[in-house]
Amino acid sequence: MADSSDDGATRRFDLRPAHPTEQAVGIEHYVTDVDGTGGRLRRSPDDFRVREIERIDPEPIDADPGAYGHVVVRATLRSWDTNDFAGTLSDRLGISRHRVHWAGTKDKRAVTTQLFSIDGVDPAVIPGAGAASSVDGAADATGQKATPAIDEADVEVLGRLGRSIELGDLVGNEFEVRITDAERPEHVGPITDALATFRTGGDAPDRDEPGNPTPVAVPNFFGQQRFGSRRPITHAVGLAIVRGEWREAVRIYVADAYDSEPDSTQDARAAAGDCFDDGDWTGALDAMPNRLGYERTLLHALERADADPGDDAAVFREALADLPENLQRMFVHAAQSYAFNRILSARLDAGLPFHEPVAGDVVCFADAGAPEEVALPDTDRLQAVTADRVDTIARHCERGRAFVTAPLVGTDTDLGDGDPGEIERRILDDLDLSPGDFDLPDPFGSTGTRRAVLVGTELSIDDHDEPTLSFALPKGSYATVLLREYLKVDPIALG
């Protein structure tokens, strides 16, 4: 439990150690000292429903396609990976995958509703767009051939845009999540009360009428998915990259195994690791099954280059360049996320508040253009908190107009002062990181940013043997970071 100081700058939190798998990615605590419900999520995709909150106002579908060439559709998908659906959609339409855009990638094992834009197509031939696609291969009244519908996908044409949908169009997500096989469903109420207290730093709330939303909050950790749910190593690869340890980055990705992987995969990684140490890239390839395609990509690159096993530089960096660019970026982003999680855990240990600032903090202000359903931090609008401004900015935080932040460290990162700054510097020192380390060639370099340390929501609960939680979160925040406080189980059961 965190200590409280005489000057009121710290708060007393009822902390409980996190699951060991979470501790490995920097999440050291639960902030509710109540036994979890147990159980699991996603027994069926219907148990986890996600709907995007967007900032999109398309023109009517009969608007001039010359000026508004992107058709906007809303797709409700069951058990579809977003990338896979976009690929299938483009294949059905006979167009390049690069003409299909979306704002946010969603989990596969869920029912998800989100927008897509499709460049330069006739709306009538979009799968599920109307009568034209009701009969596979049939033609509509104009003679336009229909496009076969896509299984487990309901598609509605909304209108047109003069540009593609982009990441900035996503504001947040609404969730409806059922906890199944719960051992202690009656603990939902006490956990909710504790999260309401954490949001305000005050006393436990009075019980409201059943069904009314409860304001709650949790530390804005990056969830397990950021690092790999079953094999959380992306941050370790990223840390090696940022430190210039290119050989070690490749070795971790290829050879480091986790108990949560199948035995055959663990054995393959061990055999490949032995070959790795000897520079026997052919032997490592022979040990690596075809299903581990990215690992084989790295080993093929090393085999072609006949790499010196002791070389920490160019050849291993070039091998990483053979991976998809988004995966290369993910490594460094995961390293930043791990450091951020460590900073939040240290802030909890120190008893510093999350809902309001102390001197030395840096806050960001709310995005005034965000919809009412979700409070969206605008990390382009930052302000350092000096001792004479603490009370004023605390009032902004209380009203949802400002948020305390911590760094996602990069070359342009300015660290805080006072106690928050001391925590940030201590964690970076412990990780042997500094902002200048992120001055790397694309796609590995990063200027950094800041991120709110607290994420709040209005939580509604259908409280029965299988509790269903409904809430909305801003983009970039993880539903599982809220849900983990309720279940308190191995993170694999959350995925």
Dump pLDDT digits (tens) for 306-320: 888 777 689 999 999
Q: Are 254 and 301 in contact (CB under 8 A)?
A: no
Mean pLDDT, range 7-19, rounded to an integer: 73
pLDDT over 90, % of the chain: 80
What is the structure's pLDDT at 8? 45
pLDDT band at 335 (very low <50, low <70, confident <90, very high): very high
Inform me whether the pLDDT recorded for 201 exceeds 80.
yes
64 contact partners, CB below 8 Å, separation of at least 6:
none
Ordered structural domains, the chain, with CATH: 49-171 (3.30.70.3160), 229-326 (1.10.1510.30)
Return d(Cα 288, Cα 364) in angstroms, integer. 46
Return d(Cα 36, Cα 488) in angstroms, integer. 5
List beta partners, residue 145: 139
What is the structure's pLDDT at 4? 39
Cα 117 to the chain's mean position, in Å?
22
Cβ neighbours, 10 Å, residue 8? 9
pLDDT band at 128 (very low <50, low <70, confident <90, very high): confident
Return d(Cα 130, Cα 157) in angstroms, integer. 9
Return d(Cα 264, Cα 258) in angstroms, integer. 12
Q: Virtual CA dihedral for 331, 335, 340, 341, nearest 10 degrees?
A: 90
Return d(Cα 352, Cα 421) in angstroms, integer. 12
Return d(Cα 423, Cα 2) in angstroms, integer. 15
Return d(Cα 299, Cα 258) in angstroms, integer. 20
Mean pLDDT, range 178-184, rounded to an integer: 95
pLDDT tens digits along 238-260: 999 999 999 999 999 999 999 98
List beta partners, residue 364: 382, 403
Which one of the listed residues 47, 107, 169, 419 is annotated catalytic?
A: 107
pLDDT band at 209 (very low <50, low <70, confident <90, very high): low
Q: Are 275 and 284 in contact (CB under 8 A)?
A: yes
pLDDT tens digits along 255-298: 999 998 999 999 999 999 999 889 999 999 999 999 999 999 99
Lowest mean pLDDT among 237-241, 305-309, 323-327, 393-397: 305-309
pLDDT band at 3 (very low <50, low <70, confident <90, very high): very low
pLDDT band at 173 (very low <50, low <70, confident <90, very high): very high
Mean pLDDT, range 168-178, rounded to an integer: 94
Inform me whether the pLDDT recorded for 380 exceeds 70.
yes
What is the structure's pLDDT at 303? 94
Task: Encode burial over 131-147: b for 16+ CB neighbours within 10 A, e otherwise.
Answer: ebbeeeeeebeeeeebb
What is the structure's pLDDT at 6? 39
Mean pLDDT, range 179-208, rounded to an integer: 87
Lowest mean pLDDT among 200-204, 254-258, 416-420: 200-204
Inform me whether the pLDDT recorded for 137 exceeds 60.
no
107 catalytic per annotation: yes
Inform me whether the pLDDT recorded for 82 exceeds 60.
yes
What is the structure's pLDDT at 277? 86
The mean pLDDT value of the chain amounts to 91
pLDDT over 70, % of the chain: 92
